[in-house]
Structure 1
Amino acid sequence: MAPALEPLTHGLWAATAPAAPATVALSGDLRADVAVVGAGYTGLSAALTLAEAGAKVVVIEAREIGFGGAGRNVGLVNAGMWVMPDELPKVLGPVHGERLLQVLGNGPAEVFARVDKHAIPCELRREGTLHCAVGEAGVRELRDRAQQWQGRGADVQLLDAAETRRMVGTDAYPMALLDRRAGVIQPLAYVRGLATAAVAAGVDIRCESPVEQIAAANDQWRVTTTGGSVTAPRVIMATDAYTKGPWEIIRKEQVYLPYFNCATTPLPENILRHILPEGHGAWDTAEVLSSFRMDAAGRLVFGSVGALRGPAQGVHSGWGQRAMTRLFPALRGIGFEHEWYGYIGMTEDNLPRFHRFADGVVGVSGYNGRGIAPGTVMGRILAEHVLGKLSEDDLPLPVTTPQEAKHRTAKEVYYEAGAAVLHAVEHRF
């Protein structure tokens, strides 16, 4: 039996998600058409796509299905990236930039289609998300973002203060951007559902099997763990910000941004009618942002930047109570039932990376807090590339060489400590 996920890392999601499919650790020497390292959104989406095309696939996971960001995030299924739509082609070039905008703009629809096809029980809501403006700078940002997405035909709409108040349940925001392409999901339930679908399609998933070495063996690759190995001509690296072992540069090219969530007890009906009454997920434009959404049982999940460890755990939890009740005074006196945190991997330009680590070894990483839809999409794209359906020239990302992020350790200390200092004093007076 797999070990239980920890309350401070997976919190509400581990407590409410359906069980993952049963797995065993890797033992013996297996052969496959493709070895996939990592059982998160990217790895399982790739494995499922490959298996549906008839490939023999083994997924190797160091811990448990959804152990990394897939099992810890807020659960907002957003379209696109943080980067403004018009800026993205300037960074990646017009060809790759517009391709990436198109595939990620359609990303939520791809998630929804996966859920529907495999009947994944994951509390999916398709009403959209609300990006809420903080101050005049936030209003300007949302106006620009709306104009740029609408110019590409996206179904997004600016809401005035009154409509924002009605749909969010607070008068704290003068404007919001409604993105009808988006939605919310129980993130650990979704990744476990992908795993269940992959197993049904013939994928062999091996958990509790940290990879120690990936070495060339004639025209093949041998992926080795303590208990066994998988030999395959193709390897997909899908470990992202939680990478350890071979090609740990995937982790080192990203700066950790800690993020925590707190969930209330289930709220009474008279309160639920006024806070996010239509089921949207929301987040704001503040530099140290807040996010909030409801789960299926009516718990408000409220989050921000910070790590729930050491003295900072109490700091962030206390801030969460203050910030939540400032937005929604009716929640005064309602406590948190679950608290948990994880890490977002941030690249220097806030965009994902496609890497060819060696001939036959590829991966995409660096989702910058947008893992659900991009991970699902990029897993499918990686599979199609490995199957020979998409050449490197046809991918939505250029081939890049991984490089360690500059001043990575210092930035990580700054982000974690800075969030704790801010949350220690904010909303106290």
Structure 2
Amino acid sequence: MTKWWPLSMFLFTKYKFRNVKLESEIKMPQSSTETIHWHRTAGRAPQVSRLERDITCDFVIVGGGLTGTRTAIGLAESGAKVILLDAHDIGWGASGRSGGQCNPMWRATPNQLAQRVGDACAARLVNTTIGSADALFADIAKYEVDCDPVQNGWVQAAHNTRAQHRLEALAEAWNAVGANITVQDRAATLARSGSSAYRFSLFHPNGGHVQPLSLTRGYARAAQRLGVTIYAQSPVTGMERTGKNWKVKTLGGTVCAPQVILTTNAYTDDLWRGLKQTFYPMTSISLATAPLSAEQRKTVLPESVTIADSRRAIFYSRYDRDGRLVFGCVGSGDDPDLLGGVGRLKNGLHTVFPQLRNIEIERTWAGRIAVTPEMMPHLHEPASGVLAGVGFSGRGIAMTSVMGRSLARKALGADDHDLPFPVSPIAPAPFHWIANKMLPLAAPAMTLRDKLDTIVDPL
């Protein structure tokens, strides 16, 4: 990302959006939950209350999304007393706004991972990654989470020749270490996805999709059954060291615990200095169509797989339980229509599935994603008794569960060398300040680069 960001931003702003307001000048209201499709079909929310007293516990978790709720499960299974706090409602943030696709693969090869994190850690990460989707669906069964799980595989499509070569190398490298990836030509890609837009793809049979808000709520209810106490509408206003404990403050009360775990991801604020500067605050925007007819479903994702392509402003899609198609791409902010975002969504839908050109669009919404420079999650231990897991870079459905299990193990005393992620220091992402300020322009810039790709290097 950092290789192309500064130049593409300069060129795009110089010639395309000279007078556009930047992030600090644009009012970007958060998408109302009424516009988010998943709230229409989500399982029941856990019964929670606001924190209005002072309490003590073994662990306090800040952030009630997928990472936080899965971490809470792991800690509670050890017999610990766990408190989970959220500023809004469970699953309010990215966990209730994502596309819900379980894409169990990184954009890097195992050798590239080894160069970044070392051979030993890379070996653990590779094995964990290969089994991450199966582990997620096993969790869903174990904790009896009603989240419309479908594990029919993931089609990873190339949008141009260079992308095809990268995907070919990716498949070869991962298959050499035990993955089961199938290379698909144009006919196989069309048969499995129903899209004539791609001539090459990979098929990951262990991939799938879930109802993300239902998954989050289901994890929260499972945590409660194990003894976790959850407080919502309880924003944390500060935390301080008091002897051997940390005191976490909210407007209505405090929680004292020896260990604090921060799982706020893309909605991270200034609670811990520097944490939100470790990733780029990108946005994913999505639409939900009207339910497709039986005839339409024969020609669009006929095997109910998920699909995502190799564009910078990635196109991705899957069905919901009622036969609606959920389609997404990179957006410009919390308002999905900012700088023509909804228009880009519809153009993308018509590019990938031209047979749906006249389909009704029922909902559009946006959610933030935390993208790290390495496109990999970060596990941080910035102080004794403080852990943080952020930066899932578009792989949140599979990897938040991996991170949740890792955070729980780390908090319970596991050695760093037994974890799939390295425990790294907090450090600002390169060009973070300018990237954050120019966030609204990122999606149009990436879309322009993608168009140029298909012109100069067509598939």
TM range (shorter): over 0.9
Would you say how many aligned residue pairs link Structure 1 and Structure 2?
422
Given the alignment of the two structures, is residue 171 of structure 1 paired with residue 193 of structure 2, yes or no? no
Give per-residue Cα distances to partners, 1:180-209, cap 9 Å, x unaligned: 121111111101110011111111001111
Structure 2 length-normalised TM: 0.87
Indicate if the aligned counterparts of 1:261 and 1:302 stay in contact, CA closer than 8 A. yes
Indicate if the aligned counterparts of 2:312 and 2:447 stay in contact, CA closer than 8 A. no
Three-state SS of the structure 2 residue aligned to 1:320 is helix
Alignment partner, residue 333 of structure 1: 358
In 1, distance between residues paired with 2:198 and 2:257?
53
Matches within 5 A, 1:241-390: 241-307=266-332, 312-313=337-338, 315-388=340-413, 390=414
Letter in 2 for 1:411: A
In 1, distance between residues paired with 2:439 and 2:159?
20
Selected match of 2:427 from 373, 386, 403: 403
Selected match of 1:112 from 112, 118, 137: 137
In 1, distance between residues paired with 2:147 and 2:102?
12
Structure 1 length-normalised TM: 0.93
In 2, distance between residues paired with 1:178 and 1:90?
26
In 2, distance between residues paired with 1:238 and 1:323?
32
Matches within 5 A, 1:163-242: 163-242=188-267
The two structures, once aligned, show a CA RMSD in angstroms of: 2.1
Alignment partner, residue 415 of structure 2: 391
Indicate if the aligned counterparts of 2:88 and 2:234 stay in contact, CA closer than 8 A. yes
In 2, distance between residues paired with 1:314 and 1:352?
29
Three-state SS of the structure 1 residue aligned to 2:379 is strand
Greater CA deviation, 77-86 or 115-124? 77-86
Given the alignment of the two structures, is residue 152 of structure 1 paired with residue 177 of structure 2, yes or no? yes
Three-state SS of the structure 2 residue aligned to 1:338 is strand
Indicate if the aligned counterparts of 1:307 and 1:341 stay in contact, CA closer than 8 A. no
Selected match of 2:106 from 67, 81, 88: 81
Letter in 1 for 2:432: R
In 2, distance between residues paired with 1:11 and 1:301?
11
In 1, distance between residues paired with 2:255 and 2:304?
44
Give per-residue Cα distances to partners, 1:42-99, cap 9 Å, x unaligned: 1111111111221110001111111222111111112132333321111111111221
In 2, distance between residues paired with 1:127 and 1:290?
19
Give per-residue Cα distances to partners, 1:106-132, cap 9 Å, x unaligned: 111121011101221111111111101
Three-state SS of the structure 2 residue aligned to 1:178 is strand
Moved over 6 A (4+): 424-427
Shift of 1:423: 5.8
In 2, distance between residues paired with 1:9 and 1:398?
39
Indicate if the aligned counterparts of 2:333 and 2:439 stay in contact, CA closer than 8 A. no
Three-state SS of the structure 2 residue aligned to 1:297 is coil
Alignment partner, residue 7 of structure 2: none
Three-state SS of the structure 2 residue aligned to 1:86 is helix
In 2, distance between residues paired with 1:20 and 1:410?
38
In 1, distance between residues paired with 2:106 and 2:276?
19
Shift of 1:397: 2.5
Letter in 2 for 1:396: P
Shift of 1:340: 0.6
Shift of 1:178: 0.6
In 1, distance between residues paired with 2:449 and 2:383?
49
Given the alignment of the two structures, is residue 56 of structure 1 paired with residue 102 of structure 2, yes or no? no
In 2, distance between residues paired with 1:216 and 1:308?
35
Indicate if the aligned counterparts of 1:59 and 1:204 stay in contact, CA closer than 8 A. yes
Letter in 1 for 2:444: A
Shift of 1:316: 2.1
Structure 2 unpaired stretches of 5+: 1-29, 452-459
In 1, distance between residues paired with 2:236 and 2:336?
34
Alignment partner, residue 92 of structure 1: 117
Shift of 1:325: 2.2
Structure 1 unpaired stretches of 5+: none
Shift of 1:168: 0.8
In 2, distance between residues paired with 1:122 and 1:89?
35
Shift of 1:19: 2.2
- Taking only the aligned residue pairs, the percentage that are identical comes to 33
Indicate if the aligned counterparts of 1:8 and 1:341 stay in contact, CA closer than 8 A. no
